[in-house]
Structure formats: structure tokens, C-alpha cells
Structure 1
Amino acid sequence: MSLTVLSVAYPFAPVGPDAVGGAEQIQAALDAAVVAAGWRSIVVAQAGSQVSGRLEPTPAVDGELTQDARAAARRRHRETIQAVLRREPVDLIHFHGVDFAGYLPDVPGLPPMLATLHLPAAWYPQEIFRPGPERLWLNPVSRTQAETCPASPRLLAPIPNGAPVRALQAARHARRGFALMLARICPEKGVHLALDAAKEAGVPLIVAGELFAYAEHQDYFAREVAPRLDALRRFVGPVGFARKRRLLSAARCLLVPALAEETSSLVAREAIACGTPVIAFRRGALPETVDDGETGFIVDYVDGMAAAIGRAGLIDPERCRQAARERFSLEAMTGRYLDLYARLAGAGRIREGAA
């Protein structure tokens, strides 16, 4: 069975292998897997995205991401989705944005729809979990996240995120003394706490990530991050895959001081694949990803993170790499999604035939 999959990105971040966000990286991997399977992939995403299938671009938002700017972008996203559906047959729609409910299409003969919940369940409008259109399905990305979701007939079994383990392990770099943090620059990622922990431990820290044009993110950087930067603790902005791999492979450890309930932490999986221990707060699914004492350390406070930085050398890099090969396979993840696509699309075709 050959399928046409329409995947829909978060409107405010580009998709591609060099994308900053985990959701956008996962979407790029699934787009590539659909094409590799010989199916058709259509991607609705911000202009400038790098896709394997066919891109249906929507304009990037220039300037501050105000409420009005966000609403306009979501409206354009919805119009683009509906234009595709009116123009050609689609077997399945897969949403990746936290705001997907704001651009669900409203056209006759909708195909089955799937939304991956990349962020904490509480961040989504709770009506998505209530009984409704039977063609909308939700899938979490970890067991911990699934357990926090409201009981719902729409909820499927979790599909854990995979990382490009082979590509990450294809290059090795000499270890250096710096700690690393890779994340969006926003309050829930706890960037200021990583800076505090690194300073307490007396080690350099490189912070890499995107600072988006949300007023609250810009204010957070100015108030909490910038004053903590110094000659040893630097912010380098967003990095693409090649530089990210170099940083992850060379770092003494990755810090994940999350203040929100992490659903998976793709970057923690990438670090472990590079043989780099992860020191993470005990939030959400992070204990599912990090084996305490084996591939890193799970801690509760800044002082615990600082102490664990000093113990990072006790973690065996090859044990980390082996754990990633066994647990974080990108191919296993994409295979499960392709099976799900076929199952949902097949059920949709059966219902259409019955009608």
C-alpha cells in the first residue's frame, strides 16, 4: 500500500536535520522515512525548511511573535493545509505543533489525523483529549508522558523519540573540560540554573540554542541569562547538526536542568549516543532516558548538578554509546510510525468503503 502523508509543522520554527527543536528534527526524520519507503510526503512548514518530500511553505513571521502575529500565522497554516486537501488526495495528516488545534482543517472527506504530543500534556488545550472527531488520534512520546495524559479514547501507545545514533557516532572528538547545554532559551529549560551549577562546579559552560522572538523569552534572557555569562560561561546561539555533534562529543557532560516536565529530551539521547553523560533534573521522562549512574546522573537541585559535574568522568563513554544503540534507534522509531500510518490510513479507507 502506497500512501500520501501530509505532515504539518509548528508554524514558528523551520523543519530540517539542522532544526533547533526536537519536534522539528523528528518531523524531518519521518518525512525522510516516508520518502525512503516510496510513499509521497507533503510538508506544511515555515519557508526555508529542508525536507525530503514536497514543501508547502508558509511565511516566516518577522519581528516579535505577538498574539496577533501568531494568530495570522496559524490562519495561513490552516489555509495551506486546506488548499492541499482540496487539490489532491491525502491518506493521513500528521501534526507536530503544540498549537495544532488552532489549524485543524475543515473540509469534506477528511483523512485520519494524528498529532504527536511533543510537549507536556498540560500545555495542550484539554478538549483535544475529549471524545470528538473519530479521525483524530494522539500519540505521546514516552511512558511517563502517557501517564500524565487525561484518559482518552483518542490516546495511542507512546512512540519514544529516536536519535540519529549512527550519524552521531560517525565522528569522535577529543574530550575537553567544558559542560554543555543545548536548548531553547526560555524559562522552562532552566538555562540560568545550568549557569549557576557550572559556576559552582568551577567549569566552563557553553550554552547553545535558539532565542526566539517571544517577548517573555527575550525578557528571560536579559534578566536571568545574560547577567550570568562571563569569560568561562558563553552563549553561542543556535547550532546545526555538524557543530552540535562536535560539541556533544567534546563536552565533559550535558546539563538538562529542566523546570517543566520533559516528555523525552531528544538532546539527552543525542548526548548519550555521543558517549557523553547527561546530568538532568528529576523531571518528567528524564529518568526514562538517563540511567542514573550508568549514562549520567539524575539530580534534584543546582548543588546536586554541580557535584555531579565533578563525577562525570566516572561514566563510561562506551557504555553510553551502547545504550543509545540499544534504546534510541531512529530507525526503530520511524518504523513504528510508518506502521501506525499504514494502520490508521487503512482503517480510514475501510470506513470510506463502508460509507
Structure 2
Amino acid sequence: MKIAQIAPLAESVPPKLYGGTERIVSYLTQELVAQGHEVTLFASGDSVTNARLVTCSDVALRLDPAVKEHLPHHVVMLEQVRREAHQFDVLHFHTDLLHFPLIGEFADRTVTTLHGRLDLPDLKPFYKAFPDIPLVSISNDQRRPMPPVKWVGTVYHGLASDILPFTAKPTGNYLAFLGRISPEKRPDRAIEIAAKVGMPLKMAAKIDNADKAYWETVIEPMVNSHANVEFIGEINELEKAEFLGNAGALLFPIDWPEPFGLVMIEAMACGTPVIAFNCGSAPEVIDNGLSGILVDSVTEAVENVEWALRLDRRKVRATFEKRFTAERMARDYLDIYRSLPGVRANAAPLHRPNRRAPDLQIVA
């Protein structure tokens, strides 16, 4: 198949630091290439891929101090995609809703994966206006707020199986928090849980400009007042393996309809169990009592930390391998691609006799 993957330009593919969507685009693209497909990636020029790369900005927009507004760069990219659309059997968009008005003539051979929250009121009239664009959700819970639209599947995220190695015996006796410092991610709950159980907490997190006030007024004072809490900041993929692998458990104390929660399966890949609050996608991702523990309150989380620390890390890793690999994710998407009404009849996978996973370079 000739497949176009269209990524956001805010981060590179894969991202240097934080960036869930671009990381998933990278894993999917690499796996599709490994399975013998002809893949073109529309992304920032500092992206690293085995696909054909179409450079749509010199570097990731978030890392370019000269860039003040992202929208013009994305519009230029989408115009380039539109001009080249005839070359592809399938076009897979990861750019939320921006491209919808541009793809009417070939929408029946497109897929749009919605990576964000869908419960915002301004989204309903938009999706009502485009009921025939094929959409993919990243969890079933993500779909709940939406008006009737053309869902063609739910595909859970997957990781390259060797990107985060299994750690059988973690060397650190700490709880981990990885993600963004934002009210919906509830880092305050993580600090409270660690304090109540008397364990160290290491926090590796990004602080967006929109969340600086929350950091400065709520979380930073909490970090400074708890001797057991260490704030690390953003980390890259190489640092992530050690950070998650050596943790006793990952805290995922969310307070919003999380569409997926990539960090949960990243922890599982390392064999690290997850203590997750029971909302959003968490019940779909966590096998309760096997790969982690689902809780409904800080009190319940505190009561279950000891149980989580006793979970069999090999079974946590085995659950990841069964449910959340990039190979499985790519298979699911290929099934969806082939089911699209506009996909070309002769579009078929290419088979290489000696399949070898491509080497993905990590840029620190």
C-alpha cells in the first residue's frame, strides 16, 4: 500500500521530549515500513524516519523561537498534502480537524485519528458539519461526547516492543509521575499519595506556558514543601526507560476524560505497574490486578500502593506485549485502511522475505 501519514508540526516525529501524538505517528510509520508498505511522512524536517519524509517545517514548531503562530505552517502542509493526494492509496491524518474542508474529494480513502479530548462544547457543531469523514478513536470512552459521526474503528496505541526494555528488578524504591503539569493530570494527587505512604516521588513532567501559573501557585509550593518529592522536568526517550523501569509503580491520578494515556503502556513495557484513577480510558488500558490497579480516590490509591508493588512485573510486561505493541496497532490500522470505500482495489501490502524491524534513531 502507498500510505501517507500526516503529523502535527509542533513536535518532531518522534519528539525530542514530550509529545504523545508524534510518538505514536513514529511507531506506526516505522512499523508500516517494516511490514513492506510504501509510506510517506509529512512532518517537521528534524523528524527521523525510515519512510519518505516530506519536510513541512525546518524543525518542530515548538522548538523554533522564530515561530509565533502554528496555524499558517499547518495550512501550508495540508495544501501540499492535497496536491499530492492522488499518489496515495490511503491518507492518514493526525491533525485533529484542520484538514476536513480540504479533503472532500478524496475523504473516502482517508482516516483521521482523533488524539485529543472530545468533550469540549465547540467541537459538536464542527463534527455535525462533517458527518462523513472516517474517524478513528483511541479509546471507546473518547467517543462518548460526540454527535453521530463516521467511526470506522477504535485503535489502541502501541509501542515498538524494544523501545522500552523490561526491568525485572527496579533499583529505585520510588513512585513515578510522568506527563504534563496541568490541573487535569492532577500532580497534586501524586504528591499527596506519596506523602501518605511515605515513599519518594520522582516527577518527570513538561510545563506548558498555559500551565505556568498552576505550576507556580499550586504544584511548585507542594514540591518545595515535601522532602520526598523530586521534580526532574522533561525527559527524553533514553531517560524514560531508566525513569520508568526503576520505579516501583507509576501514578496516573488523572481527573479528566483521558483519551488514552500513553504513559500507562510505556510503564507497562518496562514491567512497572500503574496505579490509575478510574476515569477516561484507564479501565480500557489497565487490566485491574494484572498490569495495575484502578482506584477512585486518593485514599483508595494509598491503600493499594502495597498491592501494586507486589504485582508480577513479568505479567505486566506480558500484558503489554499482548495488547499494546506497534505491530498490533499497525495491523489494526491496515484492516481499517482496506475497509475504506475509496481505497484502490489493487492496494495490497508488499511482503519482504526477511522482515526486519527498522532501526529508529533516538535524538537526545
| Structure 1 residue aligned with 2:56 | 57
Pair 1:296–1:62, CA change in 2 (3 A): closer
Q: Does the alignment pair 1:224 with 2:222?
A: no
RMSD: 2.8
Contact 1:94 1:116 in 2 (8 A): yes
| Structure 2 residue aligned with 1:25 | 23
* CA apart distance, 1:281: 0.7
| Structure 2 residue aligned with 1:95 | 93
C-alpha distance in 1 between matches for 2:71 and 2:319: 39
C-alpha distance in 2 between matches for 1:224 and 1:6: 43
The counterpart of 2:116, out of the listed 114, 119, 125, is 119
Contact 1:160 1:333 in 2 (8 A): yes
Contact 2:167 2:246 in 1 (8 A): no
Q: Does the alignment pair 1:324 with 2:323?
A: no
3-state SS of paired residue (2:27): helix
Q: Which structure has greater helix proportion?
A: 1
Contact 2:166 2:270 in 1 (8 A): no
Q: Does the alignment pair 1:279 with 2:278?
A: no
Give the length in aligned residue pairs. 337
Q: Does the alignment pair 1:106 with 2:102?
A: yes
* CA apart distance, 1:331: 0.7
C-alpha distance in 1 between matches for 2:47 and 2:302: 38
* CA apart distance, 1:74: 1.7
**1:303-318 maps to which residues of 2 (within 5 A)?**
303-318=299-314
Contact 1:9 1:44 in 2 (8 A): yes
C-alpha distance in 2 between matches for 1:220 and 1:340: 41
C-alpha distance in 2 between matches for 1:37 and 1:292: 33
**1:97-246 maps to which residues of 2 (within 5 A)?**
97=95, 100-104=96-100, 106=102, 109-110=105-106, 112-123=109-120, 125-130=123-128, 132=130, 134=132, 136-152=133-149, 154-169=150-165, 174-212=170-208, 214=209, 216-230=210-224, 231-246=227-242
Contact 2:276 2:282 in 1 (8 A): yes
C-alpha distance in 1 between matches for 2:64 and 2:332: 38
3-state SS of paired residue (2:136): strand
Pair 1:334–1:188, CA change in 2 (3 A): same
The residue identity in structure 2 corresponding to 1:195 is I
String of CA shifts for 1:200-243, please: whole Å, max 9, x gaps. Answer: 2211111112222x3x2111111122111144312212222222
String of CA shifts for 1:228-287, please: whole Å, max 9, x gaps. Answer: 114431221222222211111110100001111122222111212222111111111201
* CA apart distance, 1:108: 8.2
**Any stretches of 5+ residues in structure 2 without a counterpart?**
346-364
String of CA shifts for 1:157-178, please: whole Å, max 9, x gaps. Answer: 2111123334433565533211
C-alpha distance in 2 between matches for 1:255 and 1:244: 15
Question: Structure 2 length normalisation: TM-score?
Answer: 0.82
| Structure 1 residue aligned with 2:349 | none
| Structure 2 residue aligned with 1:86 | 83
Q: Kindly, what percent of the aligned residue pairs are identical?
A: 27
The residue identity in structure 2 corresponding to 1:347 is G
* CA apart distance, 1:19: 4.9
C-alpha distance in 2 between matches for 1:293 and 1:106: 46
Q: Does the alignment pair 1:347 with 2:347?
A: no
| Structure 1 residue aligned with 2:360 | none
Q: Which has the higher contact order (CA 8 A, sep 6+)?
A: 2
Question: Structure 1 length normalisation: TM-score?
Answer: 0.84
3-state SS of paired residue (1:181): strand
| Structure 2 residue aligned with 1:353 | none
Contact 1:18 1:25 in 2 (8 A): no
**Any stretches of 5+ residues in structure 1 without a counterpart?**
351-355
String of CA shifts for 1:118-148, please: whole Å, max 9, x gaps. Answer: 22221472245326374x2111112332344
The residue identity in structure 2 corresponding to 1:25 is R
